[in-house]
Structure 1
C-alpha cells in the first residue's frame, strides 16, 4: 500500500453511512437537550439501543461525537455542525432527498460503462420524473436547493450595466430566492419566475417577506416550453449543470427565442473559464447526465441554440458569468 494513499480509508463505507444514520435519527438535537445515555437516546429516536451505540462509537472514533463514559455520547465541536440549519442536514437525511442521492451512487459503474444517467435504473424513474411522482421527495429537494444557495448574489451582469434592464426572467429559479435578491437590490426592476408548478407555488413565502411581491409574476411551467417573451435578461443560474448537451441546448434555444431581438441570456454557475470545468460532477453522471462545462464547450452549445457570447467574467462573489445575445 502506498505511503501516501490509505486505500482502506478511501474505500470505507461504514463512516459515510453511519454519519447519515446519525443525522437521519436526529441524535445531535437530542444530545444538545441533555440526552446522552444511549438507551435513552435510542428511545427518543425510536431505534435499537445497542445498534445505535455501535454506530455512535464508530463515529466517535472518527472524531465526531465523544464517549466520555461507556454508552454515554455527547456533542463535540465537530458534531455541533449538525445543529445548524443548512443543506448539510437535508443532504445527509436518508428519509428525504438525501436518501435518494445516497442510493443513486450504486449506479455509478453502469453510468461509467454506458455514459448515461442511471438514476432510473436504481429507482424505476428518471430523476425529474421521480420528483414529480413523489411530492414529499420534491419538497425535500426544493428545500435543500434553497438552503444550498445560501445568500443569493444579485450581481449577475458582467459589467454591472443595469441601465437598460427593466425586466428579469429567472429560468428554473426554484422558489425565487435569487430573483428576490435581484429585485431587492434593483427597485426599478420587475421579475418573472419560471419553474414547475409545485416549485413556484412556494415562492410567496420568499417574495412576501422580501417585500418584492408586487413586482413579480410567476410562470408555472417547464422551461423547455416557450418562455415569457420580451424581457431584458433571461437568467439561468446553476441549471445547465443538471442537463446533458441536448437538453441544455434546448433550454438555451428557448431563452434565445424569448430574448430576441434585444435581450440577454445570462448564465451563472456550471460553466468555468477553462478546462477545469471538466473536474468533478460524478453525482450528476448518475442522477441526470448533466456535467460542468468549459467556456469553449458552452460556446458550442450557445451557437447551436442561436446565441453568441457577448461578455464573460468573474462576478464579485467569484461566480463565472457568461452573457449571450440572440444571433
Structure 2
C-alpha cells in the first residue's frame, strides 16, 4: 500500500507544480545536463573559465552550439549568466561537482562512461517492449558487464557507487546475522571489498575472499584497512564455478542485475561450492509484492541495461528452489533483507 500511496503523492506533486506531460517526457534538459557534465563544464566554471567562447576552446566544441546548450541550462535553473556573458553555477548546478569531489563527474551522467552510455539505451525501450532483448547489447554489440570489465575507470566508478550504498547499511548488516559462525565467506561479486571489510571488522574470527571482475580494488581496500591477513580477492566470474569449501557465499545486490536463467546459474554455482553444509546469503532490497517495485526507475534500468528486474522475495525463493536451495531464515538489515539459503535435495 505504501508504494501506491507514494505513487499518488508523486502524481499530486506534479499537478501542484504544474508539470505537464510534455515536461515529464522532456529529453532536451536531461541531454543538455549530460553534455555539460561530460564536458566538465561545472569544473571549468568553478576555476574561473566562464564565457562560452573560453569554455568552447577548453572543451573543443563549437562556441555557438555550446552557448545555446548553456543558455538552456540557465533557463532551467542549472546555470546563471551575467551581463558580461559569464556563466556561473546555481545550487543545482553545484551538484555537478560533488560526486567523489570536484575533480570527478557523476558517473551515471557522464556520457564517456559505461553507465552514462547505458542511460542512452532508454531510446530503445520500445524495442525492448516488443522483443524482450537487452537494450544495451542491442545498441553497443556487447554487454554492460563486458564493457565495465574493459573500462577500468568506469568499473572503479561503478564500485564506488555500490560501496556508498553499502557503507550506509554495513553496521546493520554486520549485526543482523552471525557472520562469525560461518568461519569463511566468499563475497560473490563483492566489488571493492567494502562489505567484506565491514563484516571482518565486526567479526574478528571471520575470514573471507572477494570474487569480482578485478581483484585489485578489493585487495587495496583490505590492505588499507589492515585486513590482508584475513581477506583476499580473486578475479573471476560468478557465471562460472566458484571456489568451494567456504562456510558462506554472499550475493549482495546481485540478483536484480540478471535474467532468470543467469540467476539460476549463479545460485547453482553457489550451491555446488557450498555443499554439503555451507550457506548462501542474499543481501538485497526486494520488491514488496508481485507487480509493485520499490524503485520503478531502477527496475527499468535493470531491464534495459542487463535484462534483469527488481524481484520479490517469492520470485527469488522460486529461482532458488529450482536449483535445490531453500530459505532457512530472513532477517531485516536497515532497509534491506538478509535471506539465508541452504542446499536441499534436488
2:331 to 310, 313, 318: 313
Unaligned runs of 5+ in 2: 1-13
Q: Determine if contact 1:266/1:323 at 8 Å carries over to the other structure.
A: yes
Normalising by structure 2, what TM-score?
0.85
Q: Determine if contact 1:158/1:314 at 8 Å carries over to the other structure.
A: no
1:10 to 24, 33, 43: 24
Cα separation, partners in 2 of 1:115 and 1:278, compared to 1, 3 Å: farther
1:115: which partner in 2?
132
Q: Determine if contact 2:174/2:198 at 8 Å carries over to the other structure.
A: no
CA distance in 2, matches of 1:270, 1:292: 8
What pairs up with 1:1-327 in 2 under 5 angstroms? 6-69=20-83, 71-86=85-100, 89-132=106-149, 135-136=150-151, 138-150=152-164, 151-152=166-167, 153-154=169-170, 155-156=172-173, 159-196=176-213, 199-275=214-290, 276-277=292-293, 280=296, 281-315=299-333, 317-327=334-344
Q: How many residues align?
A: 320
CA shift for structure 1 position 187: 2.4
CA shift for structure 1 position 88: 6.5
> Which SS does the other structure have where 1:156 is aligned?
helix
CA distance in 1, matches of 2:105, 2:156: 14
Cα separation, partners in 2 of 1:305 and 1:142, compared to 1, 3 Å: farther
Normalising by structure 1, what TM-score?
0.89
CA distance in 2, matches of 1:80, 1:279: 26
Q: Determine if contact 1:242/1:290 at 8 Å carries over to the other structure.
A: yes
CA distance in 2, matches of 1:212, 1:141: 23
CA shift for structure 1 position 273: 4.4
Q: Determine if contact 1:157/1:323 at 8 Å carries over to the other structure.
A: no
CA distance in 1, matches of 2:224, 2:146: 31
Moved more, 58-67 or 261-270: 261-270
Higher relative contact order (CA 8 A, sep 6+): 1
What RMSD in Å do the two structures reach over aligned CA positions? 2.3
